[in-house]
Structure 1
């Protein structure tokens, strides 16, 4: 990411949206709740921002480019963006961040593409909690003008989504009776909870849903939620849910409500089947959470008609942390709107509360005593935490959703593609290799443990890592082969069903320094990025970065662990001597370098005055030390002056040159050239 100092965000870089009419919105939200719609937290505002009509491009010294756009929504508590076109070429990177850089999304890259350059797809980026955000697109020179970004909606948030925004009150907007999923009530549901995610429906409404396993157990990312959550989508019509986002493992890490938590998110889905009769909708996610190394679980399901006694519901009421509701009954037949197609549940009080479902819980799974899904939340009464003992919830029956008059109206074709026809499927754990950190050192051992995979096991590694025997157990220890190693490596384990590879960094940090002047501003900012083309610094498990100015007349600012900026006088030469110490568990490395402003380009030399009678001057004093060659010729290519000059001011007489328009060509010793116009007027 190329960081931008606030003073460098020019006015041409801004788009401003006025505040929302909150009184009108409040009335609309009351009607929406009465009509059973998912709760809304923001309003999508139509816009037309793209790379040609908005923002500003900055050309870097190496001819790479950066595009920046600042979007301000007055009085908004959050902003998220919906794109009608999104496609990035290889090497391009998109970041979004708040102006103080405390919140950041990205980098989004070509890995996020879903269409082609000629036919780009829709896209969505997640929530940032501020009234102003900045988009920053980096485009390498070899793919210039290939990026496609078009924003058609800005979602102005007017309700904070609980802990996503680090709200001061511990329960967000859900009721105080709710029980966090990591309380003792959720102790036996730690696998199942990982499959449950909060949905941002078209970027502005909230529902819940769950990953579901299929009879192939192939980790295909099918996601079950409620039909009433999907708006105008239909499996026989518009199936495009590119503007949906899915927030994973959004929960307090304890029974109390914790803060400073940023959940993982994926975006985009395609609707495979839906049916209003049992109120189900089944998506296939565009971005599998497994591809982002998100810890998830593919929940099992049960289509029997006698689910047995006891169970639980796991959900995100009003967009809050993940909660768990507990019942101790045999589900009864629902009453509204299709009794035969729904279960009814009454919840019980437990040690830490009396959880019930609320708006935003819609689409969440109901689990039977055997930890399988038997339905998804359809609705309930409005008692909520006001009178949880009388609150009930209705769930669309999984066994009714299983059948239908076409694949687009039933589950069986998707969750049982080979027509095995089982009554139930258990949940599917993701095979994983657990290690304290993806770092191997020479001075200590790192443990690696494979989970949820069957033996036999066989561990191997890259040549710069030594594995301590035995290598056929579920856990091994590894150390760097050489204490001087600073390079990427890997640890690999084969098991009964496949192979898992864990990429690691071996040794102390290793980075180089990339200095990028911002020549678009007179202050001569020079941005500093610590980079490694083979293994990003962010992946080297760096825990501390100590930036120090050791000398010089300029100033040094540190933005994050790996980026900062030097700057100084706009009119006088300056330099900053810098020392950066990077530390990970293997030790500390030091980078020592200087930051200085770039010399003015050859183009900065201009004739003064550019309309003259007797003489004009060319000032080379600020340019790098060199010999410069000057040619003055007329429009017929007749040369009227030629000469050379070093780093001084050069005065050229024009009394003997006829009136007219002339061209001045200036060359340096490397053959670089600039041309300026001159008018001679006697």
Structure 2
């Protein structure tokens, strides 16, 4: 089944209180890229394309059947359940921002490297390597990310993460990969404990085991890690849309718990609109101050077709390098086909974070952030085109997004007006030239979690990123507001998207 969106015309409104998607996070205002930038080409529009890199980069994720059994008995840390009232209040406090899905929890037993070292029991394996393990269980958690505070970590160290479920996936990384992420924080001038913290991937479940393997040449004292806190997912993602991988891909995997979206949202797999562009869209999860969030982001092409995985989202989602380093992305996160009970067989996750290139805040800027993923874009993904020329006429547009962190949805509508936003309200620009587009939907809507998603023209070119609005299933005629790409382009995006040579 392949439908075409109506994209109907809706009347203009002059002001709206932000609720559905956006919000203000003006930290890191004025961040600019490093001074040594390559020349910029006189290019203001680039078409989309599928990327050239067809090789399969190792994502670090492993089926549990492919993970070696843990070679060392694990020390145990048990954490209590979070107070239900605190969780409810945290969700209420997050209204107007990205969707809150996880809360921090202190790990009193491992606040310092000395405390964690006292918990680990090292043994030698058959290859002479030193191995130790730690299991953390958080009662009632739906997923756990370990916040490892790194003081010293040998590049040659191997870190493996095991969920309790044998039908889930494990993860494997190296000290070198972790140190590379933390170096980006230091190079961006970010300091403090958060800048030295690396967040493990969310593998699902209420427990995770970390196994550390040091080469025979390294002493256990060469490792100095602490675990001051975890980020524990508390949002119940159970829904009617809990799908399996297709039978040929299932390999014993259980049904995946997937958030649900409002009933008026439209399955992107059911429409011919955006059939290529949807391959550029990812669900984002990330950690800020120990809290976990959902947003949406989109891969962008660049003028020289470098295959750098440029990724655009909202400033109120990610506004610092430290948060960018925690980024986890889910690709092809949609139904296999319209009405299918299965996930797309290509569904895959990347969790190596990203490099912050540009960010512009809400009140004075355009609520836009440009990242470069530390992972290569997965095979089969699309690099969306963009149009940084002035788009000043009413035109049909669409958005591809993950409302509430759900499977991919599509919305169709029209740009109506220019507006200015301050983080709480958006109002029509009196001079007719605001920093945001006002959009009214004729088909579908957006929700929290849609934040940062791209606004596409009918020709498939990105012209904005979702800041927020009041559109919803219960208020379908209300507007949404998108930061203007043309203004963000002149402000700094052009140093990357229109660079005459690779900028890094």
Matched, 1:341 2:341: no
Distance (Å, rounded) in 2 between the aligned partners of 1:101 and 1:20: 26
Structure-2 change in CA distance of 1:260 and 1:60 (3 Å): farther
SS at match of 2:89: helix
Distance (Å, rounded) in 2 between the aligned partners of 1:86 and 1:105: 25
Structure-2 change in CA distance of 1:21 and 1:319 (3 Å): same
Q: In structure 1, which of residues 339, 358, 366 is the aligned counterpart of residue 455 of structure 2? A: 366
2:11 corresponding residue in structure 1? none
Matched, 1:139 2:214: yes
Q: Is the 8 A contact 1:341 1:397 kept in 2?
A: yes
2:57 corresponding residue in structure 1? none
2:68 corresponding residue in structure 1? 2
Matched, 1:309 2:395: yes
Matched, 1:130 2:217: no
Equivalent residues in 2 for 1:482-497, closer than 5 Å:
none
Q: In structure 2, which of residues 460, 465, 473 is the aligned counterpart of residue 376 of structure 1? A: 465
Matched, 1:154 2:230: yes
Distance (Å, rounded) in 2 between the aligned partners of 1:359 and 1:40: 9
Query: How many pairs are equivalent?
Result: 391
Matched, 1:172 2:248: no
Structure-2 change in CA distance of 1:369 and 1:30 (3 Å): same
Q: Is the 8 A contact 1:289 1:296 kept in 2?
A: no
2:298 corresponding residue in structure 1? 210
Q: Please give the per-residue CA displacement for 1:501-555, whole angstroms capped at 9, x wherever unaligned.
A: xxxxxxxxxxxxxxxxxxxxxxxxxxxxxxxxxxxxxxxxxxxxxxxxxxxxxxx
Displacement of 1:154 in angstroms is 0.7
Q: Is the 8 A contact 1:113 1:121 kept in 2?
A: no
Displacement of 1:278 in angstroms is 4.1
Structure-2 change in CA distance of 1:86 and 1:324 (3 Å): farther
Distance (Å, rounded) in 2 between the aligned partners of 1:164 and 1:121: 39
1:509 corresponding residue in structure 2? none
Q: In structure 2, which of residues 256, 262, 278 is the aligned counterpart of residue 193 of structure 1? A: 278
Q: Is the 8 A contact 1:14 1:55 kept in 2?
A: no
Matched, 1:412 2:494: yes
Structure-2 change in CA distance of 1:17 and 1:368 (3 Å): same
Distance (Å, rounded) in 2 between the aligned partners of 1:65 and 1:117: 24
1:249 corresponding residue in structure 2? 332
2:383 corresponding residue in structure 1? 298
Distance (Å, rounded) in 1 between the aligned partners of 2:281 and 2:354: 16
Q: Please give the per-residue CA displacement for 1:577-614, whole angstroms capped at 9, x wherever unaligned.
A: xxxxxxxxxxxxxxxxxxxxxxxxxxxxxxxxxxxxxx
Displacement of 1:24 in angstroms is 2.3
1:79 corresponding residue in structure 2? 144
Q: Is the 8 A contact 1:97 1:133 kept in 2?
A: yes
Q: In structure 2, which of residues 82, 90, 97 is the aligned counterpart of residue 37 of structure 1? A: 97
Under a length normalisation based on structure 2, what TM-score does the superposition of the two structures give? 0.69
1:577 corresponding residue in structure 2? none
Q: Is the 8 A contact 1:45 1:155 kept in 2?
A: yes
Distance (Å, rounded) in 2 between the aligned partners of 1:164 and 1:54: 42
Structure-2 change in CA distance of 1:257 and 1:32 (3 Å): farther
Displacement of 1:363 in angstroms is 0.6
Q: Is the 8 A contact 2:313 2:452 kept in 1?
A: yes
RMSD of the TM alignment (CA)? 3.3
Q: Please give the per-residue CA displacement for 1:328-351, whole angstroms capped at 9, x wherever unaligned.
A: x344323643641111222223xx
Distance (Å, rounded) in 1 between the aligned partners of 2:125 and 2:310: 44
Matched, 1:402 2:489: yes
1:52 corresponding residue in structure 2? 117
Gaps of 5+ in 2: 1-66, 187-194, 244-254
Distance (Å, rounded) in 2 between the aligned partners of 1:116 and 1:363: 23
Under a length normalisation based on structure 1, what TM-score does the superposition of the two structures give? 0.52
SS at match of 1:56: coil
Structure-2 change in CA distance of 1:371 and 1:43 (3 Å): same
Matched, 1:19 2:81: yes
Look at both structures and tell me which one has the larger radius of gyration over its CA atoms: 1
Structure-2 change in CA distance of 1:342 and 1:283 (3 Å): closer
Q: Please give the per-residue CA displacement for 1:353-382, whole angstroms capped at 9, x wherever unaligned.
A: xx211001111000001101000001010x
SS at match of 2:452: coil
SS at match of 1:272: strand
Equivalent residues in 2 for 1:218-229, closer than 5 Å:
218-229=306-317
Distance (Å, rounded) in 1 between the aligned partners of 2:322 and 2:134: 31
Structure-2 change in CA distance of 1:163 and 1:151 (3 Å): farther
Distance (Å, rounded) in 1 between the aligned partners of 2:85 and 2:365: 35
Structure-2 change in CA distance of 1:333 and 1:260 (3 Å): closer
Displacement of 1:149 in angstroms is 4.3
Equivalent residues in 2 for 1:208-607, closer than 5 Å:
208-230=296-318, 233=320, 241-256=324-339, 258-259=341-342, 263-275=348-360, 276=362, 277-290=364-377, 293-306=378-391, 309-327=395-413, 329-334=414-419, 336=421, 337=426, 339=429, 340-349=434-443, 355-381=444-470, 383-388=471-476, 390-404=477-491, 410-418=492-500
Q: Which structure would you say has the larger RCO, counting Cα contacts within 8 Å and 6 or more residues apart?
A: 2
Distance (Å, rounded) in 2 between the aligned partners of 1:270 and 1:225: 13
Structure-2 change in CA distance of 1:170 and 1:106 (3 Å): closer
Displacement of 1:54 in angstroms is 3.2
2:60 corresponding residue in structure 1? none
Q: Is the 8 A contact 1:96 1:105 kept in 2?
A: yes
Gaps of 5+ in 1: 350-354, 405-409, 420-682
Structure-2 change in CA distance of 1:209 and 1:399 (3 Å): same
Distance (Å, rounded) in 1 between the aligned partners of 2:313 and 2:462: 11
Distance (Å, rounded) in 1 between the aligned partners of 2:241 and 2:129: 35
